[in-house]
Amino acid sequence: MRYLPLTPDDRVQMLGEIGVDSIDALFVDVPAAARREGFVDLPHVAGELEVERELAGLAARNVAAGSVPFFCGAGAYRHHVPASVDHLIQRSEFLTSYTPYQPEIAQGTLQVLFEFQTQVAALTGMEVANASLYDGSTACAEAVMMAKRVTKRNRAVLSGGVHPHYVRTTQTLAHAEGMEVDALTAAVDAEDAVIAAIDAGTACVVVQTPNVFGTATDVTKIAAAAQAAGALLIVVTTEAVSFGLLKSPGEMGADIVVAEGQSIGNALNFGGPYVGLFACREKLVRQAPGRLCGETVDADGRRGFVLTLSTREQHIRRDKATSNICTNSGLCALAFSIHMSLLGEVGLRRLAALNHQTARQLKTALEGVPGVEILTPRFFNEFAVKLGKPAADVVEALAAKGVLGGVPYSRLDPGAGLDDVLLVAATETVTEGDIAAFKAALTEVMA
């Protein structure tokens, strides 16, 4: 087997050195009833060519987003990632290293994390950011749990614009923690409705902008209302490119910002791995989940970086930890950081403006399709349309015509009674030809 360097001779020699005569002697502690002789019922060793062929066969049975006019969003976005990003993250020293527990020989990873934290803090307009979490949805749930620790209150209010999967992920964790979640009714433009739901027991208010219907909102008023009630404002963003165009959550008064960072540096990957961005006010950082990288000096006084404030974490605090998390999304955070370093402020602003412009072109095109009504009043690169018929059927019909025409809202939240709502997104990867093809296909399907 090509990944196993020991030869049969090596094995015999090593068993001799150990002082046993067979490999079975090293497994004596396994109860006899559980020892398995022979192989489990699965195929045997396969060469690289054979495995690659099988996987290519499976891959060929999927429709790659880049091969068709493509308009899906709803929490995952297709952007162009520069070739250098994927090349760099495959360097052995990044790909095959572990968590930087020995900082003297992990400064590469640590400096990247320090730069990543600075980039995320700048983008979100917050004071500090952590070294990343699994994804946006788990970051949202972690933020809600953190609000409980900070405020010692037990109720979270989630706006009706929060991505339903984020709501469900948060509810799952909140249920385990015994926390009450008030998830408001789904609505295209209802962020201000959370204000009325804030009471003296509210630990946090969670608002998404742009929300799951694409609506961009100024949350300043909500921040003021939350602050007046002693609750934290958590702002969620599922499309990180929007930070290049829209006012940052920090500017609008957020206490914690969580975002899905997949859009920058990372492929769609059928849903994972992604990278959760987590930023907050500095005074809250000791209650934050996940890893933090900090600056320090070495014995010769040279600047260096280490993982820090680890007394929050499970490997030190065990059952008193702020979270059970023992990893970040290292390689995805690296991809994010490299792509961000290439873009810079100049590039990110251009990229964001292009996304917005493309989505407006799409809106103009779809407005001309009979039976289609645009629902989202103010959007970044995604908006909702009402079709007057089940969006799931329309999407299937579009797929049959070779167009991946968005995400039916019912797929995210079947019980919401919004079966005729379709979410459509357009990034810089969408061409005028794609938009024309979408319009033509949708016109036929709607007829």
Partner 1 sequence: MSSMNSVGRPTAPVQTNDYVHPTLTGARGLLQDEALIFERDGWNKTGVDLPEATRPADDLDGLLRTAPIGLPGLSEPEVMRHYVRLSQKNHAIDLALYPLGSCTMKHNPRLNEKAARMAGFADLHPLQPQSTVQGALELIDRLAHWLKTLTGMPAVAMTPKAGAHGELCGLLAIKAAHEAHGQGHRKTVLCPTSAHGTNPATAAFVGYSVVEIAQTADGRVDLADLASKLNDQVAAIMVTNPNTCGLFERDVIEIARLTHAAGAYFYCDGANFNAIVGRVRPGDLGVDAMHINLHKTFSTPHGGGGPGAGPVVLSAALAPFAPAPWVVHDGTHYRLVEDQTGATAQAFGRMSAFHGQMGMFVRAYAYMRSHGADGLRQVAEDAVLNANYIKACLSDVMSPAFPDGPCMHEALFDDSWLEGTGVTTLDFAKAMIDEGFHPMTMYFPLVVHGAMLIEPTETESKQELDRFISALRALAGAAHDLKTGVGQIDRFKGAPFHAPLRRLDETLAARKPRLRWRPETIPPLAAE
Restricting to residues 350-409, name those near partner 1 by CB under 8 A: 350-351, 353-354, 356-357, 360, 378, 395-396, 399, 404, 407
- Give least dist CB 193 to partner 1, A: 19
Non-local (6+) Cβ contacts of 320 within 8 A are none
Q: Which of 285, 374, 416, 446 binds partner 1 (CB under 8 A)?
A: 285
Restricting to residues 255-284, name those near partner 1 by CB under 8 A: 260, 267-275, 282
Closer by beta carbon to partner 1, 313 or else 434: 313
Closer by beta carbon to partner 1, 227 or else 311: 311
Within 308-395, strands assigned E span 373-374, 382-386
Q: Which of 162, 233, 292, 372 binds partner 1 (CB under 8 A)?
A: 292
Q: How many residues bind to partner 1 according to rule CB under 8 A?
A: 208
Closer by beta carbon to partner 1, 75 or else 160: 75
Amino acid at 444: E
Q: Is 290 left (phi over 0), alpha (psi -120 to 50) or beta?
A: left
Given a contact cutoff of 8 angstroms between Cβ atoms, the answer to whether 245 and 233 are in contact is no
Please write down the HEC assignment for all residues of 371-396. CCEECCCCECCEEEEECCCCHHHHHH
Token pair 């789904």 is found at 186
Token pair 């979408």 is found at 438
Closer by beta carbon to partner 1, 20 or else 436: 20
The CA distance from 260 to 140, in Å, is: 9
The CA distance from 390 to 393, in Å, is: 6
The CA distance from 128 to 308, in Å, is: 13
Closer by beta carbon to partner 1, 108 or else 253: 108
Q: Which of 264, 283, 316, 385 binds partner 1 (CB under 8 A)?
A: 316
Bridge partners, 155 (sequence order):
180, 202
Closer by beta carbon to partner 1, 204 or else 335: 335
- Give the interface segment with partner 1, choosing from 192-200, 228-236, 303-311, 367-375 (CB under 8 A): 303-311
Among 326, 332, 329, 296, residue whose Cα is nearest residue 310: 326
Closer by beta carbon to partner 1, 131 or else 200: 131
Closer by beta carbon to partner 1, 104 or else 199: 104
The CA distance from 353 to 349, in Å, is: 6
- Give the interface segment with partner 1, choosing from 189-197, 214-222, 382-390, 434-442 (CB under 8 A): 214-222
Each residue 317-356 as x (binds partner 1 by CB under 8 A) or -, in order, gives xxxxx-xxxxxxxxxx-x---x-xxxxxxxxxxxx-xx-x
Given a contact cutoff of 8 angstroms between Cβ atoms, the answer to whether 144 and 282 are in contact is no
- Give least dist CB 405 to partner 1, A: 9
**433 binds partner 1, rule: CB under 8 A:** no
**136 binds partner 1, rule: CB under 8 A:** yes
Closer by beta carbon to partner 1, 308 or else 443: 308
Closer by beta carbon to partner 1, 53 or else 230: 53
Paired tokens of 299: 């014995």
Restricting to residues 230-259, name those near partner 1 by CB under 8 A: 243-248, 251
- DSSP letter at 74 equals T
Neighbours of 125 (CB within 10 A): 18
For 236, the enclosing helix (H) or strand (E) is strand 232-237
Bridge partners, 157 (sequence order):
182, 205
Restricting to residues 26-85, name those near partner 1 by CB under 8 A: 26-31, 33-36, 39-48, 51-52, 54-67, 70, 72, 74-76, 78, 82, 84
Q: Report the chain's C-alpha Rg in angstroms.
A: 25
Given a contact cutoff of 8 angstroms between Cβ atoms, the answer to whether 225 and 193 are in contact is no
Q: Which of 88, 193, 195, 416 binds partner 1 (CB under 8 A)?
A: 88
**431 binds partner 1, rule: CB under 8 A:** no
Closer by beta carbon to partner 1, 331 or else 437: 331
The CA distance from 271 to 135, in Å, is: 10
- Give the interface segment with partner 1, choosing from 110-118, 229-237, 382-390, 430-438 (CB under 8 A): 110-118
Each residue 142-181 as x (binds partner 1 by CB under 8 A) or -, in order, gives ---x-----------------x-xx-xx-xxx-xxxx---
Given a contact cutoff of 8 angstroms between Cβ atoms, the answer to whether 162 and 413 are in contact is no
